[in-house]
Amino acid sequence: ELWTQCRSTASVMTTHLKKNRKKRSHVSAGHGRVGKHRKHPAGRGNAGGQHHHRILFDKFHPGYFGKVGMRYFHKTKQQYFCPTVNVDKLASLAGEEALTAAKAAAGKALVIDVTEHGFYKVLGTGSLPAIPMLVKARFVSEKAEAKIKAAGGAVQLVA
């Protein structure tokens, strides 16, 4: 019982089915007398990539060795932090109630401050509802600005 618990879950091949049974009494067991069956004759793993396995590495893995680009010392990620939102998601940021109120109140624009929702930049993918809206953001792409203005809205840049 203890033996079955210790044994791995992989199926264990029975001895009488193994190829080595037929090789008994044949001295080199099919591995040759001259070359011999040694453990790792070419080295373990990726050994020899720049030496005896160079042709293989150059042929099938070009560009494996070496460096690319410039180093950037003490790179801090906060200066590249710029979460984006697309134009088609602006209506969902405002909410259903605000949209219905904006449709009812003619002459007033719906104000959406994307920085309050954690976004910095507005991008131009998708379409807008035909409601005039004032979009406040740190950055706005040209395409997004054109779509907002085409819907009768405006863009205000916020620091």
Dist CA 109 CA 26 (whole Å): 92
Whether the per-residue pLDDT at 2 is higher than 70: the answer is no
Whether the per-residue pLDDT at 4 is higher than 60: the answer is no
pLDDT of 147 reads 97
CA distances 105 to 46, 99, 109, 148, 150, Å, are: 70, 10, 8, 18, 19
pTM recorded for the entire structure? 0.62
